A and B are shown apart, each in its own frame.
Chain A
Amino acid sequence: MTNPLTEQFSAPLTFNWALSYSCNFACSHCYSREEQCDELGTAELKQIIDRIAAHQVPFINFGGGEPLMRKDLFEITAYARQQGLNVSMNSNGWLLDRAAAEQIKASGFRSVGISIDSAEAALHDDFRNRPGSFLRAVAALDALAEAGVRSTMSSVISRINHKSFRDLLDLAREHRVSQVYLHNFKCSGRGFKNREDLDLTPQEWKDFYLVALQVKQETKDLLISFDDPVIASLPGYEENPLVKGSSCGKLSLNLRPNGDITPCGFIPLVVGNILTDDFEEIWYNSPTLNKMRNKEAKGKCQGCNVYEDCLGGCTARAFATTGDLSDPDPHCWK
C-alpha cells in the first residue's frame, strides 16, 4: 500500500527507548510502573544500536524506567555515538550528581532532560512520591550545566501545575535550562488510575494552552515546546510540524526493554521486535502503524473543521480510554 509518510521517511527520526522499567521513583502519572519486561544484556543493546544506525535513525532518547539505573548506560551511549547516533535521555535526576554529569559529558550525550513538575518542592516531591526529589532534580540541572551538558526540563502538565507553569519557566532560567517541554498528560498506567485527581477537563486544557501559547510567543530567552496535537486548532499555534496529528508511528517509535517495538510508550501494541524481525517489514507494512498513519475521523471528529490539522489529537489517549486508535482525543474541547 502506498503511504505518503513512508514514501517520505524510510525510518523514524527517533527511537524512544526504555532500556529498563526499573525506577527508583513511583510517580503518580507514570505509564510504566506496572510494566514487566525482560531486559537485554549489553551485547544485545549494542546489536540494537547497530540496527538503528543501519536504518539511519538519527536520534535515540533513553527513558523508562530511570535510565541511570542501568550500569552500562554510559558504555551504551558511547557506543551509539561511535555509530553516529545522537543520544539524549530523560531522568528524574536523583542519581545525577557531579560525577554522573561528567560521565554523561564524556560518553557523548547530546542533551539530558530532567523531570520537574512543580517549582514548589513539596508539590513536586508529593507528585513524585519521593521526599527530597525536587532538590536532587534541581541539583542535577546544576551538575549538567557545570559539566557543559545541554539540559532540558520536562514537566507533565496536570492539576498541580497548570495554573503555575510560569514558575517552572522561571526555575528553568535559574538553572540554565535551554528548553522546557510542557508535556500533555497521558492516561496510561498510573496516569490512567489517577486521572480523576490529575487530569484536566477539556475546557481546562484549552484554557491552559491558550495562555501557554501566548507565553511561548512572548518568551525569547527560553525554548518552550509542546507535544500535543490537540492544540493545532488554537490561535497562536504557529508550529509547522513535520507531520500532522500524533508523531508516534510516523516520526518516532518506542523500544521496550526486550527490544519489542511499539508505536509509542503509551500505546502497548507490539508491532515487532527489533532484534528478531525485519525492521523494514514493520516500518512499511505494520497494520497498526499504517492505521495510525491513516486515521479516519470517528465520532465528533467527523465533520470537524480542524480535523485535517489535528487528525483526532493524541492517538495514545484515545486508545487508552476507548481501545480505538481512531477515536477522538478525550482532551479535545470541541
Chain B
Amino acid sequence: MKRLQRNPDIVWRVEKRRQQAVIDRLAAGEESGDEGTVILLISGMMHQLNLLGGMIWAQCDGSRTLAQIVTQLQAEFDVETALLQADVQEFIDDLIERGWLSYDQSTD
C-alpha cells in the first residue's frame, strides 16, 4: 500500500476562517478563486494551498492512499471521478517533486 505522507519538517496549518469563507462562497455558487486556505512554512518561506490542495494535503497523514483520498474528496466535490483523479494525481506529483510529500511504502 502506497500511502501518502507529508514531509514532517514542514510546518503547516489550516486557516479555518478563510477555508469556511471559501466553502460558503462555493455553496453560494460564487467563484472561489485560488485563495489559500492552508499555509505551509518551508525554510522561512510561506506557501499557500487552495481549498482542494489544502484538503488533499490535510489527508496525507500516512494513513491513506491516493485512491482513498480521491474517494474522500468525491464526497465533497461534485466532479467526475476521472477528472478529480487526474487533478489529485497532478497535484501530488508536483508536491512529491518538491519534496513536500512522499509515498510511505511500509506494509500493514
Contact = CB atoms under 8 A, between A and B. Distances in A.
A302 B18 CA distance: 34
Given A13-B41, A240-B45, A8 B11 contact: no
B98 interface: no
B15 A9 contact: yes
Contact of B18 (A7, A58, A59): A7
A43 interface: no
Given A13-B41, A240-B45, A242-B46, A56 B13 contact: yes
B35 to A, nearest CB: 10
A8 B14 contact: no
Nearest to A280: B17
A257 B12 CA distance: 27
Contacts, number: 22
A9 B12 CA distance: 12
B41 A58 contact: yes
Interface string A234-250: 00000010100000000
Contact of A10 (B12, B15, B41, B46): B15
B41 A8 contact: no
B11 A10 contact: no
A10 B18 contact: yes
A7 B45 CA distance: 19
Interface on chain A toward B: helix, strand, loop, or mixed SS?
Answer: loop
A58 B11 contact: yes
A59 B11 contact: yes
B24 to A, nearest CB: 14
Nearest to B11: A58
Interface in A9-50: 9-10, 13
A86 interface: yes
Nearest to B46: A242
B81 to A, nearest CB: 32
A13 B18 CA distance: 16
Interface string B13-45: 111111000000000000000000001010001
B51 to A, nearest CB: 15
Contacts of A56: 13-14, 16
Nearest to A242: B46
Contacts of B12: 58
Contact of B17 (A10, A58, A59, A240): A10
A102 B60 CA distance: 32
Given A13-B41, A240-B45, A242-B46, A8 B13 contact: no
A58 B13 contact: yes
Nearest to A55: B13
Contacts of B41: 13, 58
B57 to A, nearest CB: 14
B64 to A, nearest CB: 19
Contacts of A10: 15-18
B37 to A, nearest CB: 11
Interface of A: 7-10, 13, 56, 58-59, 86, 240, 242
Given A9-B39, A86-B11, A240-B45, 15 more contacts: A7-B17, A7-B18, A8-B15, A8-B18, A9-B15, A10-B15, A10-B16, A10-B17, A10-B18, A13-B41, A56-B13, A58-B11, A58-B12, A59-B11, A242-B46
9 contacts: A7-B17, A8-B15, A9-B15, A10-B17, A10-B18, A13-B41, A58-B11, A58-B12, A59-B11
